């Protein structure tokens, strides 16, 4: 498992670090893989130059660093230098309404499909195998059934494009989203009907989904788990995947070694990507988070292997 540890650049998504800085530091810690944030301030796929993309690819090759995932969950770059309006952190999304984005002059779902296809192109150039995307949330008073059908069409269009590109499209679910549980993912798979649609299994999100057992989720999702996010969480309540969630492994209460063993038991052979976007916040130290996570995961991997 050690050769399948990765770290996400979104821990370094503050003005101090370019994506190239983040990639170099992550490799220096010992990680074999890196997740690329397809959003500002790293690789916003709409205006990231072809020349810079080629140089990023060269850097990855020179460092012998694989791309564990292209993270297309958020699209903050859409708003430029402004923060996303309240309730639209993940928008424009597959579950956004025309009314929400009328002032912006776009069809948000169509815009997000195009953005997701750009992320897929990015993964193909960088040698990644999968792109993660979230469904977005359902706002108060919105028609969840109508938005579900809208999201099905969006996931189908993006998954078809991914398939033609040799890339897997993965859903990252979390509590409160339109696709907010393992059960929702299974329903979406049936509705979309594409083998290219899978799951970016964020173990912390699964751990806090009301009524979801993370070990049962691993069994139910099985081979649809194409990539993972690893973090620790203070306790099993839905709010804690946000704050104080996404902790360095070992700082919370999750049975990480047991979850790793469950994933290995179903034949999962993808990367285990540490995702600590919380360490991009002021006063946090992403370099410490990357080093300390790697150190602790070495022990967890050894423990997992010893008990297999």
What tens digit of pLDDT does each residue of 120-178 get? 999 999 999 999 999 999 888 899 999 999 999 999 999 999 999 999 999 999 998 99
255 in helix, strand or coil?
A: coil
Instruction: Tell me, rounded to whole angstroms, the distance of Cα 99 from its chain centroid.
Output: 27
**pLDDT score recorded for residue 91:** 79
Whether the bond between 92 and the residue before it is cis, its omega within 30 degrees of 0, is: yes
Provide φ and ψ at 177, rounded to 5°. Answer: -80, 165
**pLDDT score recorded for residue 192:** 98
**pLDDT score recorded for residue 302:** 77
- Contact present, 172 and 135 (Cβ < 8 Å): no
**pLDDT score recorded for residue 140:** 84
For 103, half-sphere exposure in the C-beta direction (CA atoms, 13 angstrom radius) is 3
Write out 104-169 in H/E/C secondary structure.
HCCCHHHHHHHHHHHHHHHHHHHCCCEEEECCCECCCCCCHHHHHHHHHHHHHHHHHHHHHHCCEE
The Cα–Cα gap between 205 and 175 comes to: 7
Quickly count helices (H) and strands (E) in the chain.
9, 8
Provide φ and ψ at 205, rounded to 5°. Answer: -60, -45
25 in helix, strand or coil?
A: helix
The Cα–Cα gap between 8 and 42 comes to: 11
| Token pair listed for 126 | 């960088």
**pLDDT score recorded for residue 182:** 98
Residue ranges per structural domain of the chain: 2-306
The Cα–Cα gap between 258 and 262 comes to: 6
**pLDDT score recorded for residue 82:** 72
How many angstroms separate the first and last alpha carbons of the chain?
12
The Cα–Cα gap between 171 and 90 comes to: 13
The Cα–Cα gap between 258 and 217 comes to: 13
> For the chain, which ranges sit under pLDDT 50?
none
The Cα–Cα gap between 200 and 133 comes to: 8
- Contact present, 271 and 6 (Cβ < 8 Å): yes
**pLDDT score recorded for residue 112:** 97
**Four-way CATH pick for 2-306: 2.60.40.420, 3.40.50.300, 1.10.287.3510, 3.20.20.150:** 3.20.20.150
The Cα–Cα gap between 186 and 77 comes to: 30
């Amino acid at each position: 498992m050690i050769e399948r540890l990765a770290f996400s650049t979104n821990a370094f998504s503050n003005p101090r670090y370019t994506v190239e800085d983040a990639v170099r530091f992550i490799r220096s810690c010992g990680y074999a893989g890196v997740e690329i944030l397809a959003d500002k301030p790293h690789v916003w796929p709409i205006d990231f130059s072809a020349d810079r993309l080629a140089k990023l690819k060269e850097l990855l090759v020179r460092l012998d660093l694989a791309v564990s995932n292209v993270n297309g969950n958020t699209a903050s770059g859409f708003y430029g230098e402004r923060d996303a309006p309240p309730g639209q952190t993940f928008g424009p999304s597959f579950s956004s309404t025309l009314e929400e984005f009328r002032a912006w002059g776009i069809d948000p779902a169509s815009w997000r499909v195009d953005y997701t296809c750009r992320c897929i192109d990015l993964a193909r150039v960088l040698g990644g195998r999968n792109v993660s995307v979230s469904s977005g949330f359902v706002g108060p008073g919105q028609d969840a059934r109508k938005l579900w059908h809208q999201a099905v069409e969006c996931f189908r269009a993006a998954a078809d494009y991914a398939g033609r590109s040799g890339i897997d499209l993965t859903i990252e679910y979390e509590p409160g989203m339109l696709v907010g549980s393992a059960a929702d993912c299974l329903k979406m798979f049936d509705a979309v009907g594409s083998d290219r649609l899978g799951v970016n299994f964020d173990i912390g999100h699964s751990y806090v989904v009301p009524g979801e057992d993370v070990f049962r989720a691993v069994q139910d999702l099985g081979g649809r788990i194409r990539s993972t996010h690893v973090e620790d969480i203070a306790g099993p309540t839905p709010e804690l995947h946000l704050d104080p969630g996404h902790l360095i492994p070992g700082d919370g209460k999750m049975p990480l070694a047991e979850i790793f063993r469950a994933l290995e038991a179903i034949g999962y052979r993808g990367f285990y990507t540490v995702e600590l976007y919380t360490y991009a916040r002021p006063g946090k130290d992403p370099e410490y988070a990357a080093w300390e996570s790697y150190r602790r995961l070495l022990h967890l991997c050894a423990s997992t292997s010893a008990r297999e």
